[in-house]
Structure 1
């Protein structure tokens, strides 16, 4: 039975949570290290097979893991392991779009029709700003895809999806609202933004992200794999719950074109911390465009242009993004002054929901 197997997974993970790999900085006091590890250990029984994290503050760097890297083994999660970071990629792509704005090659109020004529019905009323802020009203293509627990996901895990295929699936559905009227998260808009970057630059969006962000910041564990199904080692294994399967299915290897410009990225905790520190520190965008990025697309929302923010228990707002790549979940946030950062990645057990425990870990890391 699936649920019986999941129960065994959760129990195994809970037992092994106490046998964690931790690489603390000498600058961290024992009490601080212990508090972070306890919070990380809480994530596993809440809904994860394994978890890894990196926290950076003016006191140094703390890295920790909990749970296991692979079901049926006692192998520790690699503390510097790679993982699929999903929609965290939206912050990378949005940064490139805003850099092109800063260079005068795009305007935030350009319509999508100007750059991709005839592609989007009513595209003359949808702006790049709205695509970045998820206020375009375009239907989210993710909701049309055969994802777990649908068994078609496993059957099609090697299938190559083109951006055109994905965009057409999203556009085949009616809009959720008029452009600019509301916030409605949609990866369709970011697939279109990837095509805009290619139209403007003459290079692929992956090449532009590499040239403008990955290379200059020396993000050695970050890649945009395109159609390659592999994750560089070491890495934790990721699993999917699939109808009809007696146990979780290992989907670590899959064709990431399913996510495309909206989330194909593979990275590490250290690289994501380095990226968001550079972004919020003004190294990637001029002040006026960073301010645009931090301005909500709809008043009262907590999402700007490829960047979201949250309040913390200590009253300090934090900026970053989260991502869901089927088997992997990621959270990466930094305080506005860049002095405290935390990235957490988990592999899902489907026995519960790790979101609340993840939020508590991020809060502990950023408030201390």
Structure 2
């Protein structure tokens, strides 16, 4: 992450990997909670280490005692649970023609959301101004008494006020907890490590632009940047939806988020998942990436002529290639084109995978529509901020 870190971004209780593991178990336990002996058993930590970690989490307002387990002969163990509202994170999805913003709590549950028109080709300054304005409006929608306590003024610059706090949030009794940061999801390719965009298909003017750092200057908060498909994949991994799968996103473009071995696979240069730019037709129609016969160009052309059967068939060809290449056990579909009418896409992709699997004498993998629908990317963007707190991502 980059940018000005508030108290929530560098909490002592979250600095160690062990604390993150304990926090993850508290999150996963939900309202039922988990006892200290259970935490020790699941993590392999000593009871003394667990006691120290949970004491710090309670001091920071991240955990509370919530009753007791039934006694098994000794003193009944106290049950601890996460306080989801103790901290919050913002997710931003910058699509080619639309901007979506969401505010989530520590459990990843949405608190507020907004959608507005957006022009990815309008230029950096206009894009940054639009993103900053949506963050301010989102916080206002969440009941934060305007932008007080968030470090944002009407111009989107730092006021000198610290961001949130362990029990604070906005002036006037707004959020229950402070803001940890902003996760931003955009079309790729990009460098997740440096936060720099590369040649986004159709928008070469963004090549080399340090979007993460530029936004962090406007929003005095930590910012992390990733591809839209990777953000969705992270949301699926951290919510326990998938461990070995591919998320295929068909909207204004076509890309993939890869979940391998329970983690998001970004590649050596954080550029994995450029699924739409596999060439499947030599000497085919030109693609805006510079190649000819790319899956994205063919698929979007079918969508443009309202031939969703052919678009689904083409998507299925690419999906079957991916299943063979990576031996994944599930394919998830999303993006506005698919979500507008999922059935033909699920059926078409499943058919192509089944036909290819039959030729290879193996069982086909299931094909489903992604959970959270149109919010998969933006909520995944918010989880880019939350994931390190739980030793994920």
Q: Same fold (TM over 0.5)?
A: no
Higher fraction of strand: 2
Return the index of the structure with the highest Cα Rg: 2
Q: Which has the higher contact order (CA 8 A, sep 6+)?
A: 1
Q: TM-score, normalised by structure 1?
A: 0.27
Q: TM-score, normalised by structure 2?
A: 0.26
